[in-house]
């Protein structure tokens, strides 16, 4: 009997590490998901839409934490300072991990301070012009700009924004000049574009759609490798002769530096599953966002390429906002 009891006790003890490991399996508590903008906008909608479905798959709650300020700096610093245990994630996007580090000194390193988890999706920028401008397509617009050097102006959502850098890339490629008029946000820029104070802009597609539908602006081309599935009548710049021209408003997920590889893989695998849902695609289509899956390695490479691309444009066009 004593021997049998000893064997049973030994067997029970051998299970304790397994049971303890099961109880600590990730995730076993709510996950903080930092969104670097105020609640209610398109970026916030993306975060809440994705985490609602992501949490259901992981069987754990995501708590969306809106931390606006400093163009994403506050949110990026908060994520960098968090414990690398998978319970704090950040929704990075083209500004926090692309255009801002390219045009100003930020108090975080978007490569060294963060662990790439995966891409969420992207929406292209679209070249739009005032509807009264006598051009019907991209080729006519380029000819018109070259025939009127310095007489045309374009608006942007602000100095160093994606709308600014995209047009500077375009100007570089056509080797011509337009005056830059920065605004405090894309809505104000649209007001003057529609009113004729400016003639062109490169906003995100979602922001442009209402004005395109009203006929107050004319869409000439979209960025990105392919035509947008919702607006297949608008050609890409690439197919219009601007090979490799790409600029997109993208969203992805990063965490603090030093996250364990198994947790990163679990998050990436489950995020990819969420992104394949037709329901999610329909929801994100409100912002003209197409879901994109990437491995952590691919997303890390993508971020480095974005920073490199916009840094090159900023240097070539002398755009340095710290000066």
* pLDDT tens-place string over residues 66-115: 999 888 999 999 999 999 999 999 999 999 999 999 999 999 999 999 99
Residue 1 pLDDT: 40
* Terminal Cα distance for the chain, rounded: 84
Domain extent listing, the chain = 29-123+249-316, 126-222
| Helices 296-316 + 261-275 axis angle, to 10 | 80
Does domain 126-222 correspond to CATH entry 1.20.58.1610?
Answer: no
Residue 323 pLDDT: 59
The SS3 call for residue 194 is helix
Which regions of the chain are under pLDDT 70? 1-23, 323
Residue 287 pLDDT: 92
| Cβ burial, residue 196 (10 Å; 0-12/13-18/19+) | exposed
126-222 shares the fold of 29-123+249-316: yes
The candidate with the shortest Cα–Cα distance to 232, out of 214, 219, 244, 242, is 219
Q: What is the rounded CA–CA span in Å between residue 323 and residue 315?
A: 13
Fold of 29-123+249-316: D-Maltodextrin-Binding Protein; domain 2 (3.40.190)
Residue 13 pLDDT: 42
> Which whole-number Å values give the CA distances from 152 to 129, 251, 283, 296, in the listed order?
11, 32, 37, 43
Contact in structure between 254 and 98 (CB atoms under 8 Å): no
Full-model pTM: 0.89
Residue 322 pLDDT: 81
């Amino acid at each position: 009997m004593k021997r049998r009891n000893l064997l049973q006790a030994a067997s029970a003890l051998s299970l304790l590490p397994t049971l303890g490991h099961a109880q600590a399996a990730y995730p076993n508590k709510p996950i903080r998901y930092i969104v670097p903008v105020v609640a209610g906008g398109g970026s916030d909608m993306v975060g809440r839409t994705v985490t609602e479905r992501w949490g259901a798959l992981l069987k754990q709650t995501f708590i969306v934490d809106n931390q606006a300020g400093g163009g994403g700096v506050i949110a990026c610093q908060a994520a960098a300072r968090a414990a690398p245990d998978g319970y704090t994630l950040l929704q990075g996007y083209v500004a926090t991990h692309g255009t801002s580090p390219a045009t100003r000194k930020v108090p975080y390193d978007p490569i060294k301070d963060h662990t790439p988890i995966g891409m969420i999706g992207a929406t292209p920028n679209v070249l739009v012009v005032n509807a009264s401008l006598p051009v019907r397509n991209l080729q006519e617009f380029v000819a018109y700009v070259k025939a009127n050097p310095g007489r045309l102006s374009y608006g942007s959502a602000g100095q160093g924004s994606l709308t600014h850098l995209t047009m500077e890339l375009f100007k570089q490629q056509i080797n011509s000049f337009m005056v830059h008029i920065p605004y405090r946000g894309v809505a104000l820029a649209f007001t003057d574009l529609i009113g004729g104070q400016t003639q062109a802009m490169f906003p995100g597609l979602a922001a442009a759609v209402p004005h395109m539908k009203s006929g107050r602006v004319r869409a000439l081309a979209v960025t990105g490798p392919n035509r947008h599935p919702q607006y297949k009548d608008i050609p890409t710049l690439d197919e219009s002769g601007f090979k490799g021209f790409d600029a997109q408003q993208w969203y992805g997920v990063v965490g603090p530096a030093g996250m364990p590889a198994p947790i990163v893989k679990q998050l990436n695998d489950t995020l990819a599953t969420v992104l394949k849902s037709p329901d999610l695609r329909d929801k994100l289509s409100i912002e003209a966002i197409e879901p994109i899956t990437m491995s952590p390695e691919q997303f890390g490479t993508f971020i480095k390429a974005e920073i490199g691309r916009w840094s090159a444009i900023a240097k070539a066009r002398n755009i340095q906002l710290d000066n």
